[in-house]
């Protein structure tokens, strides 16, 4: 697999405890929406003596002239080193890879279900869908504890305004701990919510992204909502 050189252009907080990192896009780097990269930090080895790399889904769409990843900033050696990178820092990028890709048959709706930072591969798909004018009907069920924790929520709302074929259904599960108002849906994504949300959609294909335990749980819930197992596509979230 090809390895490319890139530099950090900027970084910013996009939700509570969540950062986005924007890198230069290497010449010749091509990928499909929903794919991922291995990000390799400078100097190769960290405190553990092992090469410091981490797999991340790409947030940017192919038409954008950058590479962007987003992650919860947990207290790990890699995340500490990533957070300390300064503008202009050199990194290496290996990839792309991954098979969580939007189906080609536009007659079938696509239903994306994401928890927290598992939204990242779907951001690339949704940005691409708006830019390319794809005819697919798109539905995103997006669960977070609080609005403060919901990365890209404002942009997703704007994408839904731009694309009449895209419906956003965001839900919050712990509003008692929030300092921000929320008038939308609350509670977990369960079979009843999924069944109600997909009613009327043409033969939908369901995509799941998140931590392994969450993905397995959601597979069971989606099946309970009446979706055939063959129509459920999932990938344990790369960048958790």
Q: Is the pLDDT of residue 51 over 90?
A: no
Same domain? For 45 and 77 the reply is yes
Q: Is the pLDDT of residue 43 over 80?
A: no
CATH of the domain at 156: 3.40.50.80
> Is residue 140 classed exposed, middle or buried when 0-12, 13-18 and 19+ CB atoms within 10 A define those classes?
buried
Positive/negative CA dihedral, 14, 83, 24, 142: negative
- Among candidate residues 52, 57, 116, 60, the one with its CA nearest the CA of residue 82: 52
Q: What is the mean pLDDT of the chain?
A: 92
Choose the final residue of a domain: 72, 97, 122. 97
Choose the final residue of a domain: 73, 97, 121. 97
174 is a domain residue? yes
The pTM of the full predicted model, rounded to 2 decimals, is 0.93
pLDDT tier at 47, thresholds 50, 70, 90: low
* Close Cβ partners of 130 (under 8 Å, ≥ 6 residues apart): 159, 162, 163, 166
Residue 24: give the domain boundaries.
3-97
148 is a domain residue? yes
103 is a domain residue? no
Same domain? For 151 and 85 the reply is no
Same domain? For 130 and 196 the reply is yes
Q: Please tell me whether residue 32 adopts helix, strand or coil conformation.
A: coil
- Among candidate residues 147, 137, 196, 198, the one with its CA nearest the CA of residue 171: 147
Contact 81, 52 (CB under 8 A): yes
Into how many domains does the chain fold?
2
Q: What is the model's pLDDT at position 235?
A: 78
Q: What are phi and psi of 201, to 5 degrees?
A: -80, 145
Same domain? For 135 and 26 the reply is no
87 is a domain residue? yes
pLDDT in tens, 91-128: 999 999 999 999 999 999 999 999 899 999 999 999 99
Same domain? For 53 and 76 the reply is yes
Nearest-angstrom CA–CA distance, 162 and 174? 29
- With b for 16 or more beta-carbon neighbours within 10 A and e for fewer, the 90-125 pattern comes to ebbbebbebebebeeeeebbbbbbbbbbbbbbbbbb
CATH of the domain at 57: 2.40.30.10
105 is a domain residue? no
CA angle 233, 236, 240 (to 5 degrees): 140
Same domain? For 114 and 222 the reply is yes
164 is a domain residue? yes
First to last CA, the chain: 22
102 is a domain residue? no
Nearest-angstrom CA–CA distance, 163 and 198? 18
Q: What is the model's pLDDT at position 124?
A: 98
Same domain? For 175 and 201 the reply is yes
Same domain? For 85 and 30 the reply is yes
187 is a domain residue? yes
Residue carrying the six token digits 């960290």:
46
Same domain? For 139 and 34 the reply is no
């Amino acid at each position: 697999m090809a390895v490319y050189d890139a530099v950090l252009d900027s970084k910013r907080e996009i939700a509570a405890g969540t950062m986005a990192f924007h890198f230069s896009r290497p010449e010749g780097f091509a990928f499909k929406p929903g794919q991922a990269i291995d990000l390799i930090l400078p100097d190769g080895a960290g405190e553990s003596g092992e090469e410091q790399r981490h797999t991340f889904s790409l947030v940017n769409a192919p038409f954008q002239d950058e590479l962007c990843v987003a992650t919860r900033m947990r207290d790990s050696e890699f995340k500490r080193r990533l957070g300390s990178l300064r503008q202009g820092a050199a990194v290496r990028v290996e990839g792309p890879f991954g098979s969580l890709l939007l189906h080609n048959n536009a007659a079938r709706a696509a239903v994306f279900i994401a928890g927290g930072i598992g939204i990242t591969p779907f951001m690339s798909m949704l940005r691409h869908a708006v830019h390319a004018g794809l005819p697919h009907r798109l539905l995103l069920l997006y669960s977070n504890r609080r609005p403060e924790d919901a990365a890209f929520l404002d942009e997703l709302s704007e994408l839904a305004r731009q694309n009449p074929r895209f419906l956003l259904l965001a839900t919050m599960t712990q509003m008692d701990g929030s300092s921000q108002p929320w008038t939308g849906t609350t509670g977990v994504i369960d079979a009843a919510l999924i069944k109600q949300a997909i009613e009327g959609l043409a033969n939908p294909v369901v995509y799941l992204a998140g931590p392994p335990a969450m993905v397995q749980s959601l597979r069971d819930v989606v099946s309970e909502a009446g979706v055939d197992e063959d129509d459920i596509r999932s990938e344990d979230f790369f960048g958790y």
